[in-house]
Structure 1
Amino acid sequence: MFRSLLLSLALVCAAGAALAATPADTALAGLPHVAFPAPHRVASGRLQASDIAALRRGGIRQVIDLSTDREKAGFDEGAAVRAAGIGYRNLPIRGADDLTRANVARFDRLLREAGNRPTLVHCASGNRVGAMIALRAAQVGGQPAEAAVAEGRRWGLKSLEPAVRERLQAWSNGAMDTGARPAH
């Protein structure tokens, strides 16, 4: 009886420790719309200059920014991130019109280049991040539409979900689209 109680207590303690926030999670918890959807990956909303120090404390080594230059309101995010010693890539996704196979392929390449380095992927709210993740899960990972959309939601997909579903349906029917601008 005592052994069973001791074993149960040990299991409860181990489970609690596994669920505890890591120092990186704590350092990044103040980012807008933050999510920790996968190992070595963080999703968030728009960064401010004051967030750059948190990225360093949180161990982020790469930033993939899906926002456009117009959204940055005078803040040179790329320069600030690079000055902090963090890699920076920008793939501007304006909205539903930029949810193309070509941009998903570019996005996949950026994620593969990041490898296992802790990487923050962001846009203004996380919605475009989730959309691109969902489309990537289907296009690159071969996931069915429902699983791909669920994965996108974990990363921040919200209002672009109807556009994502429309793309997935069209792509499954063999429709092609054109893709736009290269990442820089």
Structure 2
Amino acid sequence: MPRIAAIAFALLLAAGCASNPPEVTTPTVAVVEVLPGLYTAGQPAPGDWSAIAARGVATVVNLRTGEELAGRDEGSEVRAAGLRYVQIPVAGADGITVDNARLLHDALAPGHGQVLVHCASGNRAGALLALEQAEFDGVPVDAALALARKAGMTSTEPRLREALGLGR
């Protein structure tokens, strides 16, 4: 009997020392990888940043205006998760401009990787990212439009087409 008790004690001790791997969570918002390491999304919830960081994201680029985020300090949320935060306020389709594309290009430097670009729905994120790709990275217009659609662009397409010189 002492031998059985010793084995039972050893098993209990081993079970108490075992550790569970950390739980990997999924963000509440759909995150789309449009290029290797480059993601777009709609508005992440305050508790999504750790799950987004677990995907390898190191920088968050927020295209929403301050008025859209009234009462929320997204910059603090993102930095608390250990991520770099950049805000480029893009006010609707009118904000899909070469100047804002340049700001996005600079925020994506040096390698366009480990970055999440988001707005409220992915609409502005997709359009501005496509304009950035066409204007500053030499991506052909048809490929930039396809990337924009994959990234979440919907109603901003006429403005993007205009910015790309295609007319509405």
Q: TM-score range by the shorter chain?
A: 0.7 to 0.9
Q: CA deviation at 1:158?
A: 1.0
**Residue 94 (structure 2) aligns with:** 97
- Secondary structure of the residue aligned to 1:169 is coil
Distance 1:152 1:27 in 2: 27
Query: Structure 1 length as normaliser, TM-score?
Result: 0.70
Q: How many residues align?
A: 144
Matches within 5 A, 1:172-183: none
Please provide the CA RMSD for this pair: 2.0
Regions of 4+ moved over 4 Å: none
Distance 2:28 2:151 in 1: 14
Identity level (%): 39
Radius of gyration: which is bigger? 2
Indicate conservation of the 8 Å contact 1:31/1:44, yes or no. Answer: no
**Residue 137 (structure 1) aligns with:** 133
Q: Kindly indicate whether residue 48 of structure 2 is the aligned counterpart of residue 48 of structure 1.
A: no
Q: Which amino acid aligns with 2:80?
A: A
Indicate conservation of the 8 Å contact 1:41/1:118, yes or no. Answer: yes
Query: Structure 2 length as normaliser, TM-score?
Result: 0.77
**Residue 152 (structure 1) aligns with:** 148
Indicate conservation of the 8 Å contact 1:33/1:126, yes or no. Answer: no
Q: Residue by residue, what CA displacement relative to the aligned partner does 1:132-176 show, whole Å, maximum 9, x if unpaired?
A: 1111122113334322211111211111011111121269xxxxx
Distance 1:135 1:56 in 2: 26
Q: Kindly indicate whether residue 159 of structure 2 is the aligned counterpart of residue 163 of structure 1.
A: yes
Gap regions ≥5 residues in structure 2: 1-23
Indicate conservation of the 8 Å contact 1:137/1:151, yes or no. Answer: no
Gap regions ≥5 residues in structure 1: 1-25, 172-184
Q: CA deviation at 1:66?
A: 0.7
Indicate conservation of the 8 Å contact 1:127/1:159, yes or no. Answer: yes
Q: Kindly indicate whether residue 67 of structure 2 is the aligned counterpart of residue 70 of structure 1.
A: yes
Distance 1:27 1:58 in 2: 10
